[in-house]
Amino acid sequence: MRASGYKLRQIVEALKELGVVGRTGKPIGTTRVFEIIHGARKKPSRSNPPGPAVGAASDQEVVATEIKDAP
């Protein structure tokens, strides 16, 4: 439909008239149609996952050091 010159809102209206719904049972919105046409957001790469910095001591290592150093 987009290749035929329809605007996003026209596509959304046509899908609504056809009874097309998303997984929640609601009609598909403009944002979702845009994501379908242009591709959804990219997920962050797993090469640099969030978490403690490389070389950072874990909680267990800190506790073990505190116990070892206790008088």
| Contacting residues for 37 by C-beta, under 8 A, at least 6 apart | 2, 8
Whether the pTM exceeds 0.85: the reply is no
Q: What is the pLDDT of residues 30-68, one digit of tens each?
A: 999 999 998 877 777 777 666 665 555 556 665 555 555
Q: What is the pLDDT of residues 18-29, one digit of tens each?
A: 999 999 999 999
Please state, in angstroms and as integers, the Cα–Cα distance from residue 71 to each residue in 6, 9, 62, 64, 66, following that order: 77, 72, 16, 14, 10
Q: How confident is the model at residue 2 (pLDDT cuts 50, 70, 90)?
A: confident
CB 33 within 8 A of CB 11: yes
